[in-house]
Amino acid sequence: MKKKEIISGEAIQKRIREMGNEISRDFQGKPLITVCVLKGAFIFYADLIRSLSMDPEMDFVRMSSYGQQTFSSGKVHFSKDMELSIKDKHVIIVEDIVDTGKSISYLSRVLEARGPLSIKICALIDKHERREIPVKVDYAGFVLQKGFIVGYGLDYAEKYRNLSGIYELTPEE
């Protein structure tokens, strides 16, 4: 596989500061809980929460799909559920990338039933080409039309999560 940088680490950090300002403005003085979707969002989450000028509660979830293809069946479940209550709190789900929209729409639906004040979606990458479920990403870092990307938390076969920038992965000629 060949990898080519498409978003530099510096560009990511600059964008995260803007997103942090926007979220802080929107939720100042309100009860907020941010939810990191493991594993892909862990690096983005760590930087995003440190760019906030407020102190949200924080929690983590991890989802898995039944079967091989990631989330292709649309049958998603928790392999790690939240530990904190979201009742009467505003929730921001923090994802690495929204692709087909299946996993985030499942997660929003499940959390919606737990009585939050609101649920917003924050994703570093909003990738449009393969969207199947109309999902609105409220806070999007970067919009991509297509491509398979790695780095900054995103993996291919559990590798490349440690890269500071985002790279497009393509098969060798």
Give the footprint of Mg ion on this chain (CB under 5 A). Answer: 40, 96
For residue 21 the two structure tokens come to: 């300002």
Q: In what order do the strands lie in the sheet with 118-127?
A: 76-80, 57-65, 32-38, 90-98, 118-127, 139-144
Q: Among 102, 121, 163, 167, indicate the residue that binds ligand IMP (CB under 6 A).
A: 102
Span near ligand IMP by CB under 6 A; candidates 28-36, 85-93, 97-105, 107-115: 97-105
Span near ligand IMP by CB under 6 A; candidates 45-53, 80-88, 89-97, 107-115: 89-97
DSSP code string of 4-52 = EEEE-HHHHHHHHHHHHHHHHHHHTTS-EEEEEEETTTHHHHHHHHHT-
**Options 12-20, 48-56, 93-101, 112-120: segment touching ligand IMP (CB under 6 A):** 93-101
List 26, 59, 81, 99, catalytic entry: 99
Beta carbon of residue 41, minimum distance to ligand IMP (angstroms, whole number): 8
Q: Check binding of 108 to ligand IMP (CB under 6 A).
A: no
- The CB-of-36 to Mg ion minimum distance in angstroms stands at 10
71 is a contact residue toward ligand IMP (CB under 6 A): yes
Characterize 129-144 residue by residue with b for buried, 16 or more Cβ atoms within 10 angstroms of its Cβ, and e for exposed.
eeeeeebebbbbbbeb
Measured CA distances, 172 to 1, 3, 93, 144, 169 (Å) = 5, 9, 35, 22, 9
Confirm or reject binding of residue 122 to ligand IMP (CB under 6 A): no
Catalytic residues: 99
Enumerate binding residues for ligand IMP (CB under 6 A). 40, 70-71, 95-104, 127, 148-150, 154
